[in-house]
Amino acid sequence: MSDQGSTRFSEELEPSLVRAILPPQAQQQYAQGKVSKEFLAPFAESLLHLSKAYVQCEAWRSISRREAQAYALYYLQVNLPKFVRLIRELPSSLRSQPLRVLDYGCGPGTGSMALLSQALQIQSLTAFDRLRPMLDVFTDIVHALACDMRPQYTQDESTALAGIYDLILCGNVFCELEIAKKMSCFHQLCQRLSPGGALVILEPALQETADALVRMRDAFVGEPGEYAVIFPCTHHNPCPLLSSNRGPAWCHATLSWEAPQLVRQLDELTGFGKHRLKYSALIVQRGAIPVGGSRVITEPERTKRGVECMACSASGYERLIIPKKSAPRHLASFDLAPSLPDVPSI
Ligand SMILES: C[S@@+](CC[C@H](N)C(=O)[O-])C[C@H]1O[C@@H](n2cnc3c(N)ncnc32)[C@H](O)[C@@H]1O
């Protein structure tokens, strides 16, 4: 989908969330400008509670309907652009065919909404979450969006894992799993991929969760198999951030965005402040090969020499200097660096 189409969806999303979640008086306020604190304060309180569990990487054993709604009003909107960024990394074959999709740990449907925003063709969608209130809020949002997405909601993992999928989305779930479960879950999800299918894992950019993701990736690429990590890694060598003893392998990226109105209001009430979005991620494709080249890891800086950043490739984690004349206008963390024979690295 064009950037325009994607922007249009983002503009439609928040009004739909408001219709799905807030009472009529708050909907009227939203239509005229700001929603009053009276209506938003309870959601802000729920967010503070959820965020504490999030930062401590605690699994949410239960969740109230209010908390699931608060998650949707805030985190769904905050996580959606990250999923969009990852979906744009999918091979064109997947972006142009009808897809059997599993949204694993779907919450209120963040990953699925990102697919809608990119106009990917969804042949079937299995929405799996162990928390009923999340699935209920997902259902409410689908109704409010009046879209033709027809998820099959399930709380039963064996039902979810009985299918074969062209695309599996797994957003901010591994951070909630215990270490022993992470690797087995990763393997199980890979085994449910169709030939050419992809598993998209989105994680928070916390040092601890990013490091755990890199360790899982290293163990996985060390095993023989038909799967390739196609993002952000460009190669299957051991991760240079892990092998260099620099402390946690903090492989993460930043996205700039314009926060929608309710996110800004909830930021004010909670003191969060999502001006820039940070995330870590991994995309695995069945039957693929590593993409090669060099991936920008740190925020590129414009210097006298050109554009400078740290980048990762089969030859390691190195400083890259892209001369001014060769530097693209837009280059961000997790973009592929331009492949120029004369790009020096030191
Ligand atoms: C932080 S939310 C993420 C929601 C959504 N994927 C996103 O990225 O915004 C994590 C979700 O994963 C679900 N979850 C965690 N562990 C799970 C498991 N073992 N099986 C199913 N769902 C799980 C939780 O119930 C929760 O809804």
What is the chain's percent helix, strand, coil content, to nearest 5?
45, 20, 35
Distance, in Å, from the CA atom of 283 to the CA atom of 266, rounded to the nearest integer, reads 31
Question: How far apart are the C-alpha atoms of 117 and 8, rounded to whole Å?
Answer: 8
Rounded to an integer, the average pLDDT of 119-134 is 96
- Residue closest by Cα to atom 10 of ligand 1: 173
Q: Does the pLDDT value for residue 332 go beyond 70?
A: yes
Instruction: Judge whether 304 and 297 are in contact, CB under 8 Å.
Output: no
Q: Which of 282, 309, 295 is nearest to 338 (CA)?
A: 295
Phi and psi, residue 317, nearest 5°: -105, 110
CA of 170 to the centre of ligand 1 (A): 8
DSSP secondary structure code for residue 124 in this structure:
E
Ligand 1 centroid to Cα of residue 269, in Å, is: 25
Name the band, by pLDDT with cuts 50, 70 and 90, for residue 40: very high
Confidence grade of residue 273 (pLDDT, cut at 50, 70, 90): confident
> For residue 125, which of 177, 175, 163, 77 has the smallest C-alpha distance?
163
pLDDT, residue 266, reads 97
Q: Using alpha carbons, select from 264, 330, 333, 244 the residue that is nearest to residue 294.
A: 333
The strand pair at 276-286 and 152-154 is best described as unpaired
Residues 253-263: pLDDT tens digits? Answer: 999 899 999 99
Nearest CA residue ID for atom 20, ligand 1: 130
What is the reported pLDDT for 222? Answer: 82
Residue 33 CA to ligand 1 centre (angstroms): 32
Whole-number pLDDT of residue 279: 97
CA distance 14 to 16: 5
Cβ proximity of 306 and 327 under 8 Å: yes
* CA–centroid distance, residue 203 to ligand 1 (Å): 11
Ligand 1 site residues (CB inside 6 A) read 59-60, 75-76, 79, 105-107, 110-111, 129-131, 134, 157, 171-173, 176-177, 202
The pLDDT value given to residue 275: 77
Give me the chain's average pLDDT, please. 92
pLDDT band at 60 (very low <50, low <70, confident <90, very high): low
The pLDDT of residue 155 is above 80: yes
pLDDT at 344 over 60: no
User: What band does 94 get if pLDDT is binned at 50, 70 and 90?
Assistant: very high
**Ligand 1 center to residue 177 CA distance, Å?**
9
Average pLDDT on 206-210 reads 93
CA atoms of 337 and 102, how far apart (whole Å): 31
Ligand 1 geometric centre to CA of 65 (Å): 15
Dihedral sign (CA 88, 92, 98, 100)? negative
Nearest CA to ligand 1 atom 14: 105
> What does the pLDDT average to over 35-55?
92
Ligand 1: residue whose CA is nearest its atom 11: 105
